[in-house]
Amino acid sequence: MDKTKKERLAAAGWRAGDAGEFLDLSTEEAAFVELKLALADYLREVRSRNGWTQAQVARRLGSSQSRVAKMEAADASVSIDLLVKALLGLGASRTEVGNVIAKPA
């Protein structure tokens, strides 16, 4: 199973329980994917909490609706850098970002 497929699957429906349950993710790979999912989920939460559309968020960040959708889906083409920059750009603090990453879902 290639890396793309793994991230795709993980991003798709494996937020219940540990990602990498019967996927062949090493523990570090699983931790990485989970960390990314946590940020993606939080991004969506911040957006909906403020009643924004993906297009509005995209405008704020100087990006596009499709990329915001991919961010929220933790798509394989989205980096942690992008997610962190997006959260900071929407007003989240460094501490807030850290807590999202640290907290076990």
Binding site for DNA (CB under 7 A): 53-55, 58, 61-67, 69-70, 72-73, 76-79, 81-82
Pick the piece of the chain touching a copy of itself (CB under 8 A) from 8-16, 43-51, 68-76, 97-105. 97-105
Are the C-beta atoms of residues 84 and 97 closer than 8 Å to each other? yes
Q: Which of 6, 14, 34, 42 lies at the binding interface for a copy of itself (CB under 8 A)?
A: 34
Q: Which of 32, 41, 59, 60 lies at the binding interface for a copy of itself (CB under 8 A)?
A: 32
Q: Which of 13, 95 has the CB closer to a copy of itself? A: 95
Are the C-beta atoms of residues 82 and 10 closer than 8 Å to each other? no
Dist CA 19 CA 46 (whole Å): 23
Nearest to 61 by CA among 70, 73, 9, 2: 70
